[in-house]
Structure formats: C-alpha cells, structure tokens
Amino acid sequence: MGLWNNFRNWVSGEKRYMTIQEKNRKRYGYWKRNSIYLDNIYNKISVDVAMMNFKHVKVTKGDSTVDKWEVYENSDLMNAIAFSPNLDEPPIVFWSSVIRMMLEKGIAVVVPTYDGDKIRDLTLATGNIRFNDTKILVTINDIEKEVNKADVWVFENPKQNLTAQLHQITQLIDDNLSALSAKINDSPSSTVFGFLKFPTKVADGELKERAEKRVKDIQTVAQNGGITYLEKDEEFQELNKKISTASAEELNFLKSQLFQSFGINEDLFTGNYSEAQFKGYFSSVLKVYQRVIKEEINRKYFTKTARTQGQKLMVFYDLFDLTSIKDLTEFGYKMTYSAISSPNEIRELVGWLPYEDGNIFKSNANAVDIVKEVSE
C-alpha cells in the first residue's frame, strides 16, 4: 500500500505529508515497540547527553601569562552541530537521535554534506551499517550509498553488546506486563468461564441446540451486568481464570539488572536520587558518550594543520545545571588556592574563556613554609 501511494503521488505530482511517527520510522528506523523500561532508559540517556554544549576555539600558546583564545561562534562546524544540523531538527533532537541509535544499534553514523569545504548539514544514516577498512555502506533516504570512513563521523558505543545481553531481561519484563494488562482488562463482569450441566445423559441435536441457546443467554446477561436464572436440575460451575505473573521481588531483580547494565539507578527517574548516585551517572554514562562525540568530531573534522594551529572542539555541560553555585565555588577555591589548578583551567571546565594572569598558580598568602632548623 505504501509503494502504491508513493507511486500515485509521484505520478500526480501530489505532495505526501507524514506524521512524526512515519517520519522517524522512515529516517531512523527505531520507531518500534520496546519494553517501557528500556524506552525510558533510552530516552533519559539520549536527552541528557544531548544537553551538551559545543565551542569551536583556537588556542595560541604564547610567552605571556595567558594563552590567546579565539572563539569561532559562526563557523560552519558550529552552525551544523550547535545551531541547525538540518532542516528538520534542532540540535537537541538531532543529537538525542544519534545517542539513541548508538545505544540501540551500537553504532551511529553521521554523514556531513558539504558546500565546497564548508559543512551544509548533517544526516544520521539508517539501515544496517556495513564497512570494510576504508569504506562504509549507509542508507540515506532509502538509498544505499558508499562513503569514505574519513568523510563521515562514526560514533561507536564503548559499552559493547548491550542490546543482545538485555534481550532476555526485557522479554521477561514485557511478558509479565502483558500478562498483567490482560488480567486487568479482563473484567469479570463481562466474561464468564464455567461448565453448564444439563439434567440428561442423552446427547442429540436438540440438546445441543438447547445448550448453545442457554450459554448464549447467560453470556448476554453477564455482558450487561444483569441477573440470570438456572432451570430445574441445571448446574453451573464457574471457573476462575488466573494469570500468573512474576513476584514483586522477581520483577525488582529484573529491573535492577536492566538499570545496572546501563550504569544508572532507578531513583534517577523519580528525582529522589542522591548526590553520589548522580555523580556515578554523570561519570559512567554522560561523560562517556560526551567523550565519544568530542573525540570523533575532533579527529575527523580538523586537519593536521588546523590542530597544529590550536583549533579544537570543546564539548562540555553547564556545570551550574549539575551542581550548586556554592559547591562549584568551593571546588574552584580549593583547587586554585592549593595550586592544583590554575583559575583558567577551572574556567575551561565550565566553558568560559581565560583571562589575563589566569594561568598563574596561586597559594594561600598566609601559608608559611616549615623549615627544619639544623643546629651547628
């Protein structure tokens, strides 16, 4: 039917409009049924990672006390990754799709389109990704094409084989949810299970017709929530339909295995997480996929000459969204005044530019060196 509609629209010149579900199914191929738990995990991780910020900079090392930083806010790279990856998607939608595909399929391939040597837009490839030493076969808009590895961005999930490992767990959870749904939707007021016994041992066509009529009458009354009757010597034995599901302890065990495989805690979904739980999530999940994005773009987009000139892409999160101003201020104070980090290194963590004399390591002005006195 879909092929016929496409052919008809092509012949008539008629434009075909798609729903968001059809668009995502066509573009990414991931609009399919998953376990509700797995979908929640994919959505949370992909959206949280997509909150990352980008900054294209050039750092020139100098003899002065501060390095010279230039920020290219309107470079073709920044326009593509941080302003408008393509006509259909803003950055957060595009990058969440990239991360989700990386989680589901283990790999995501982004194909840049160029106008000369400038990036015009970015496209997330679909279908089965196949590659050899130098080439990759990708599908874009239902068309399979061969591209050079060096010309595309290949984001591979460092956590290998997650989908295969989780299939059995999610299948067990889905089976229990389906059984529970059937149990809830099967209202006893509309369905009756049982045996109807007639006061005779003779089985003939008339008895069969009579029995079928009585059963139909009972079912009709049950569906309408009414009261029926039994004729003399008739007996009705009701059966209870029971659907067994896993116990609460068993389901909690399955869910814990599912969450732990992704390095997250269920409390992250309810907002009741502790600081330690969020730090673990940030370190083992968010920073991992942030680094995958940063390293792949840096090694594919910038030439050796550009890297020698000090050009690089900074990928970072707004630390004010991750911690309180009080904690961030205290951290910066302790790191700088213990001479572990310079002020400019702390500023770089939050995506700020350096300032003059910010490369100087400081220490507490009231500190006194303790020198062991040696008597002559």
Q: What is the 3-state secondary structure (H, E, C) of 91-106?
A: HHHHHHHHHHHHHHHC
Residue 221 lies in a domain: no
List, as own/partner pairs, every contact residues 31-40 make where C-beta atoms lie below 8 angstroms and the sequence separation is at least 24, other chains included. 34/170, 35/170, 35/173, 35/174, 35/177, 36/177, 37/170, 37/173, 37/255, 37/258, 38/166, 38/170, 38/258, 40/269
Residues 122 and 15 in one domain: no
pLDDT computed for residue 361 by the predictor: 67
Residue 287 lies in a domain: yes
- Weakest mean pLDDT among 181-185, 207-211, 321-325: 181-185
pLDDT computed for residue 195 by the predictor: 65
Residues 84 and 5 in one domain: no
pLDDT computed for residue 2 by the predictor: 46
Residues 149 and 294 in one domain: yes
CB-neighbour burial class of residue 248 (10 A; exposed 0-12, middle 13-18, buried 19+):
exposed
Is it the case that residue 68 has pLDDT exceeding 90?
A: no
CA distance linking residue 296 with residue 95, whole number of Å:
14
Residue 136 lies in a domain: yes
Taking every pair of Cα atoms in the chain, the longest distance, rounded to a whole number of angstroms, is 128
Is it the case that residue 372 has pLDDT exceeding 50?
A: no
Confidence band, pLDDT 50/70/90 cuts, at residue 323 = low
Kindly report the average pLDDT of the chain as a whole number: 76
Is it the case that residue 246 has pLDDT exceeding 70?
A: no
The whole-number average pLDDT for the span 223-241 is 66
Confidence band, pLDDT 50/70/90 cuts, at residue 95 = very high
CA distance linking residue 318 with residue 240, whole number of Å:
57
Residue 213 lies in a domain: no
Output 47 or 192, whichever has higher pLDDT: 47
pLDDT computed for residue 13 by the predictor: 53
Is it the case that residue 60 has pLDDT exceeding 70?
A: yes
Residue 8 lies in a domain: yes
Is it the case that residue 57 has pLDDT exceeding 70?
A: yes
Residues 6+ apart with CB under 8 A from 290: 49, 52, 315, 316, 317
pLDDT computed for residue 114 by the predictor: 93
Residue 231 lies in a domain: no
Residues 288 and 356 in one domain: no
Residues 148 and 129 in one domain: yes
For the sheet containing 68-71, what is the strand order? 68-71, 53-60, 311-316
CA distance linking residue 159 with residue 284, whole number of Å:
10
- The SS3 of residue 264 is coil
Nearest to 265 by CA among 280, 251, 248, 287: 280
Output 280 or 331, whichever has higher pLDDT: 280
Specify the length of the chain in residues: 376
Output 108 or 279, whichever has higher pLDDT: 108
Residues 118 and 13 in one domain: no
pLDDT computed for residue 328 by the predictor: 67
Residues 125 and 148 in one domain: yes
Residues 16 and 106 in one domain: no
Residues 62 and 167 in one domain: yes
Confidence band, pLDDT 50/70/90 cuts, at residue 370 = very low
Residues 6+ apart with CB under 8 A from 162: 103, 106, 261, 262
Residues 149 and 284 in one domain: yes
**Phi, psi for 129 (deg, rounded to 5):** -85, 125
Q: Which two tokens stand for residue 224?
A: 């309408």
- Weakest mean pLDDT among 174-188, 288-302, 335-349: 174-188
Residue in this structure with the two tokens 């008895």, named with its chain if needed = 207
- Weakest mean pLDDT among 221-225, 231-235, 243-247, 280-284: 243-247
Residue 238 lies in a domain: no
Residue 254 lies in a domain: no
Confidence band, pLDDT 50/70/90 cuts, at residue 112 = very high
Residues 156 and 77 in one domain: yes
Which residue range(s) make up the domain with 1?
1-28
Residues 102 and 4 in one domain: no
CB-based contact 345:356 (threshold 8 Å): no
Confidence band, pLDDT 50/70/90 cuts, at residue 369 = very low
pLDDT computed for residue 345 by the predictor: 73
- Weakest mean pLDDT among 69-83, 231-245, 255-269, 331-345: 231-245
CA distance linking residue 94 with residue 90, whole number of Å:
6
pLDDT computed for residue 376 by the predictor: 47
Count of the separate structural domains present in the chain: 3
Nearest to 354 by CA among 362, 345, 363: 345
Is it the case that residue 249 has pLDDT exceeding 90?
A: no
